[in-house]
Amino acid sequence: MSEEARLVEWLRAARRVIAFCGAGVSAESGLATFRGAGGLWEGHRVEDVATPEAFEYHPELVWRFYAARQAALQEVEPNPAHRALAEMEAHYPEFLLVTQNVDNLHERAGSLRMIKLHGSLMEVRCTECQRVTPIDRPVDLGAEEEPALPRCRCGGLLRPNVVWFGEYLNPAHFEEIGTFFRQCPLPGSTGAAGGTLLLVIGTSGAVGGGYGLTTQARRYGARIVEINPELSALSLDVDLALREPAGQLLGRVWPQVRS
């Protein structure tokens, strides 16, 4: 049996699916990865425009960086991987999407039950009152010589609602992930074998060591599938690896599963 045929079989047998997605999923839509082009943007290291300290000392530069990323997001569309994952949510009795991406391509494809570990590019958060507000267009900073930084209704300076280097992720997200795994059928019970499937898609696994998702999957008896053209830091943890971009692969595989 081919690896692709085995994936089809496992997807058909699964009752619970959790997908862990990284930058490779959105790169297929044409979005540059966060560390693309050598990790530089206009001569600056990404870390210099993606830290709390950078925002404190150079908010105009940071906002120019994120406004440009928001504008780039308007020029791309969800690809077959985003759409397949959205359909999986409706297909499986229990489904959870965990993404490291800050774009809104999963939402635009129709995904609803989702954990965005690193925040959302299309949200702003007030640095004073902490109010989070979704936005539907890029922030307009006006003239470069006299930028108009976005402000909250309370007067506080707005920032992108993303997690920067040096900031903590939301612990409630990891509790939700842990709860999903803890509800796996016990070994030997009906539906335990192959009942839960972890899809690791388009992530290097370098950030946070994959946040322990493959470790939890192994502990609770879930099968682990990696979809990635390249080897990753998680490749040794998986049961099945398919070395192909997710959009191409799932564009072929998912119609076979749902038919």
| pLDDT number for residue 186 | 67
pLDDT tens digit sequence for 28-69: 999 876 655 555 566 678 778 999 999 999 999 999 999 999
| pLDDT number for residue 210 | 83
SS3 200: strand
pLDDT tens digit sequence for 70-125: 999 999 999 999 999 999 999 999 999 999 999 999 999 999 999 999 999 999 99
> What are the residue ranges of CATH 3.40.50.1220 in the chain?
3-31+77-118+169-258
Spacing of C-alpha 165 from chain mean position? 16
> What are the residue ranges of CATH 3.30.1600.10 in the chain?
36-74+125-162
SS3 133: strand
CATH topology of domain 36-74+125-162: SIR2/SIRT2 'Small Domain' (3.30.1600)
SS3 27: helix
pLDDT tens digit sequence for 179-232: 999 998 766 555 555 699 999 999 999 887 789 999 999 999 999 999 999 999
pLDDT tens digit sequence for 138-158: 999 886 666 789 999 999 999
SS3 146: coil
| pLDDT number for residue 190 | 54
Residue 124, φ and ψ in degrees, nearest 5:
-125, 155
- 241 sits in which H/E element: strand 240-242
Q: What is the pLDDT confidence band of residue 256, given thresholds at 50, 70 and 90?
A: very high
CATH topology of domain 3-31+77-118+169-258: Rossmann fold (3.40.50)
Q: Looking at 91, 106, 118, 173, which residue is catalytic? A: 118
- 99 sits in which H/E element: strand 94-99
- Is-catalytic flag, 118? yes
Q: What is the pLDDT confidence band of residue 241, given thresholds at 50, 70 and 90?
A: very high
Residue written as tokens 């803890």? 182
- The alpha-carbon radius of gyration of the chain (Å, integer) is 19
